[in-house]
Amino acid sequence: MTRRFENKVVVITGGSDGIGLATAKLFATEGAYVYITGRRQELLTEAVNEIGHGAVGVQGDVANAADVARLYDQIQRDHQKVDVVFANAGIYEGAPLDAIDDTHFDSTFNVNVKGMVFTVQKALPLMKAGSAVVLNGSIAGSKGLPNQSIYNASKAAVRSFARSWTNELKEQGIRVKVVSPGGTETRMIRSYLDSQPEVEEALNKSVPLGRLGEPNEVARAVLFLASSESSFVAGHELFVDGGVAAI
């Protein structure tokens, strides 16, 4: 195991499960001081114990700017810096166009869009040249998937943020990129697919590589984008989807 992140401070929102948790584990084993957030304290505590290596969990909701500020206040006290932000927290809710209401729109955009803005914005005073921001997008931001137009639009906004922020932060030497997973074997998607076996079969057939991704496969891409190995990569979207978006 390499130690690319020795003594680096890494922030991962939505780090108590799925892709966020897998990524936190990899950062921790490579020497990082890892801070994760999550809305449910019990799940957050379990995740911190699973990550080990001195990981810290800060309970909060990224849609609440005060919670995000509290996270960075603690990091300021502990380390006075942030080297990597993986803005991973997000929710999925589907709804056909004729069923979209204020609650559906606001809940999706508050977490997936507003939460991402403040996760990055409030980290900036602690970041310096050479730092990296990785945003968690989705192939949904590039595909016209039916019955989830609000979710698709929220992920298209993530892609747009990377372009804009790359230009805004270039003088500060902060690189911004997007990792965009396809269907990934998380606890949430597994519980759904177990109840809909025909959906899983169709989903696998739609992927050129013939299967769902694994959280660790996305996590390894995040670490590449956050590391010095991608020092000349900025504003880029890396699809980790088995070929769905490309073919």
Is position 151 annotated as part of the catalytic site?
A: yes
Residue 57 in contact with residue 67, Cβ under 8 Å?
A: no
Active-site option among 33, 35, 72, 151: 151
The C-alpha atoms of residue 53 and residue 30 are separated, in whole angstroms, by: 10
Query: 208: exposed, middle or buried (C-beta count within 10 Å: 0-12, 13-18, 19+)?
Result: exposed
For residue 24, what are its two tokens? 């936190």
For residue 20, what are its two tokens? 């966020």
Interior angle at CA 153, CA 38 and CA 142, nearest 5: 105
Residue 20 in contact with residue 86, Cβ under 8 Å?
A: yes
Residues with catalytic function: 151
